[in-house]
Copies of this chain bind each other. A is one copy, B any other.
Amino acid sequence: MAKELKNFTKRSDNYSQWYNELVAKADLAEQSAVRGCMVIKPYGYAIWEKMQRQLDDMFKATGHQNAYFPLLIPKSFLSREADHVEGFAKECAVVTHYRLKNDPEGNGVVVDPAARLEEELIIRPTSETIIWNTYKNWIHSYRDLPILVNQWANVFRWEMRTRMFLRTAEFLWQEGHTAHATREEAEKESRKMLDVYADFAQNYMAVPVIKGVKTPSERFAGAIDTFTIEAMMQDGKALQSGTSHFLGQNFAKAFDVTFMNRENKPEYVWATSWGVSTRLMGALIMTHSDDNGLVLPPALAPVQVVIVPIYKNEEGLKEISAKVEPIVDEFRRRGISVKYDDADNKRPGFKFADYEVKGVPVRLAIGQRDIEEGTVEVMRRDTLEKETYPIEGIVDHVAAELDNIQERLFERALEFRNRRTIIVDSYEEFKVKIEDGVFILAHWDGTPETEAKIKEETKATIRCIPFEGDTTPGVCMVTGKPSERRVLFARSY
């Protein structure tokens, strides 16, 4: 059983299969009976809850409040913003009826044709339309602004090809929707929330990200600007991990939301929206995990330390438990989540394998001999290195190890990304190098035509125009036309 748990496909053999097996074996999620929708299992959900709690604290610290808007959106709302409907109408779930009835032929229940809705309702793919329709009633004067609201919700986009966490028809997310009196303030808000996402990704998920702006063809449907954080997975592909949109006055105009400014003149309201989703689970898993299973940064691990007793009999277990109890108490006092696994229906070897697959950052093992010698075995999940350490002072030691693991995971991921980020000047070289799974900084002439050609021929897209890095102008690698600066190309999830 222990062996079977750890019997993974290697990343180097088949990265995609490794990921699928990991999600299953670490008990994170599974396919449901509904196409494209997953069941998030308790262990996977516990990680998501840690993410939610931290993000929610950060949103509140930046002045946002939560609220809740309807799941269903009248079909006509989607059409109000021209780009928005193009982006979302093609992949939505449509509610047409409000009742079932017994099948006259006796085969369970059927849709009652008499219960057809006058106007169909769409399960929200995102909530700009229903929210701006609501804001219309909330906003009259500049005194009502800004509105800084966030919603934790499920959304639905009918996807043809789905993958656990990365792309599912239903997913969980948060969507911030803010309203402002000035363009400047809204732009500042959209950049601020991108910074919050980057802070969260780097300092809690230990995932280094590149901040930048999307090209027009990769923008959110209805946005003036879409800002993004892009992370590199271990196969060198990019994962868009969070986006923040400056929406200008597009939705205010679509839903006729104006306010009286300080000069008592009506103006359209300025808007932002920003979101991260359960997709972050995919980023977390793929950035750190290895051929032995999940590797979790301590800041987001539901269990940070597990203690496994190794004993021969009831008497031995009692002795170990007496020694472990005060240690558990001290971990808790320090705010470190700890589990003492003295279950007697599983062998230590199985427990070791299980916690390894589940990515618990530090494992302590205490046997009879440790008790005699006043020691404990410490294993770090990230390095799989074991050491024997005195029981005296073990909590301080583990606390320091947890900090070190958190830092090291980030450093390791950053080094990996840096090693795999290259500068390319010719399209020929680009086509060769992109096959290696790399981020490429290259010059582009700024046209959607060239962007589309590159995508078509190499499957690589412009992930973003980075905020930082080399801003020297040059010439487009494809057309030779002038380029303002290098942009970031990659294949992506």
Partner-B contacts on A (CB < 8 A): 30, 32-34, 37-42, 45-46, 48-49, 65-79, 85, 89-102, 108-109, 111, 120-123, 130, 133-134, 137, 143, 149, 153-154, 156, 158, 170, 172, 345
Name the residue on B nearest A92 (C-beta): B100
Q: With contacts A75-B109, A111-B120 known, what are 18 further pairs, Cβ within 8 A?
A: A33-B77, A34-B70, A37-B70, A39-B69, A45-B66, A48-B68, A49-B66, A71-B156, A76-B108, A78-B109, A89-B101, A90-B99, A90-B100, A91-B99, A92-B99, A94-B99, A95-B95, A96-B111
- Shortest Cβ distance from residue A60 to the other chain B in the assembled complex, whole angstroms: 10
- Shortest Cβ distance from residue A392 to the other chain B in the assembled complex, whole angstroms: 32
In the complex, are the beta carbons of B42 and A67 less than 8 A apart? yes
Name the residue on B nearest A53 (C-beta): B53
Q: Among B48, B90, B95, B345, which residue has its beta carbon within 8 angstroms of that of A123?
A: B95
Alpha-carbon distance between A101 and B79 when the two chains are bound, in angstroms = 11
Contacts A34-B72, A137-B30 hold; do A67 and B41 have CB atoms under 8 A apart? yes
In the complex, are the beta carbons of B71 and A37 less than 8 A apart? yes
Alpha-carbon distance between A225 and B170 when the two chains are bound, in angstroms = 33
* A70 contact set on B, CB distance < 8 A: 32-34, 37-39, 170
Contacts A65-B46, A67-B42 hold; do A34 and B73 have CB atoms under 8 A apart? yes
In the complex, are the beta carbons of B42 and A149 less than 8 A apart? yes
Top 9 nearest A-B pairs by Cβ distance?
A79-B108, A42-B65, A37-B70, A89-B100, A40-B68, A94-B97, A98-B158, A96-B96, A34-B70
In the complex, are the beta carbons of A79 and B109 less than 8 A apart? yes
> Which of A67, A74, A102 has the most chain B CB atoms closer than 10 A to its own CB?
A67
* A97 contact set on B, CB distance < 8 A: 93-94, 96
Alpha-carbon distance between A40 and B123 when the two chains are bound, in angstroms = 18
In the complex, are the beta carbons of A122 and B100 less than 8 A apart? yes
Alpha-carbon distance between A49 and B476 when the two chains are bound, in angstroms = 52
Q: Among B72, B101, B143, B156, which residue has its beta carbon within 8 angstroms of that of A170?
A: B72
* A71 contact set on B, CB distance < 8 A: 37, 123, 154, 156, 170
* A45 contact set on B, CB distance < 8 A: 65-68
In the complex, are the beta carbons of A33 and B95 less than 8 A apart? no
* A154 contact set on B, CB distance < 8 A: 71, 153-154
- Shortest Cβ distance from residue A162 to the other chain B in the assembled complex, whole angstroms: 12
11 A-B pairs in the complex with CB atoms less than 8 angstroms apart: A33-B130, A37-B72, A39-B68, A40-B67, A42-B65, A45-B68, A72-B156, A78-B109, A94-B100, A94-B111, A96-B96
Name the residue on B nearest A121 (C-beta): B34
In the complex, are the beta carbons of B74 and A34 less than 8 A apart? yes
- Shortest Cβ distance from residue A303 to the other chain B in the assembled complex, whole angstroms: 12
* A34 contact set on B, CB distance < 8 A: 70, 72-74, 121, 130
Alpha-carbon distance between A42 and B135 when the two chains are bound, in angstroms = 13
* A74 contact set on B, CB distance < 8 A: 33-34
Name the residue on B nearest A68 (C-beta): B40
* A38 contact set on B, CB distance < 8 A: 70
> Which of A100, A102, A149 has the most chain B CB atoms closer than 10 A to its own CB?
A100
In the complex, are the beta carbons of A96 and B99 less than 8 A apart? no
Alpha-carbon distance between A170 and B74 when the two chains are bound, in angstroms = 14
In the complex, are the beta carbons of A33 and B133 less than 8 A apart? yes
* A94 contact set on B, CB distance < 8 A: 95-100, 111
Alpha-carbon distance between A111 and B71 when the two chains are bound, in angstroms = 18
* A101 contact set on B, CB distance < 8 A: 89-90
Alpha-carbon distance between A33 and B72 when the two chains are bound, in angstroms = 10
Alpha-carbon distance between A153 and B154 when the two chains are bound, in angstroms = 9
Contacts A30-B137, A133-B33, A134-B39 hold; do A93 and B121 have CB atoms under 8 A apart? yes
In the complex, are the beta carbons of B66 and A89 less than 8 A apart? no
Q: Among B68, B92, B172, which residue has its beta carbon within 8 angstroms of that of A68?
A: B172
In the complex, are the beta carbons of B78 and A100 less than 8 A apart? yes
Alpha-carbon distance between A74 and B158 when the two chains are bound, in angstroms = 15
In the complex, are the beta carbons of A93 and B72 less than 8 A apart? yes
* A158 contact set on B, CB distance < 8 A: 98-99
In the complex, are the beta carbons of A75 and B95 less than 8 A apart? no
In the complex, are the beta carbons of A46 and B66 less than 8 A apart? yes
- Shortest Cβ distance from residue A58 to the other chain B in the assembled complex, whole angstroms: 16
Alpha-carbon distance between A68 and B32 when the two chains are bound, in angstroms = 11
* A41 contact set on B, CB distance < 8 A: 67
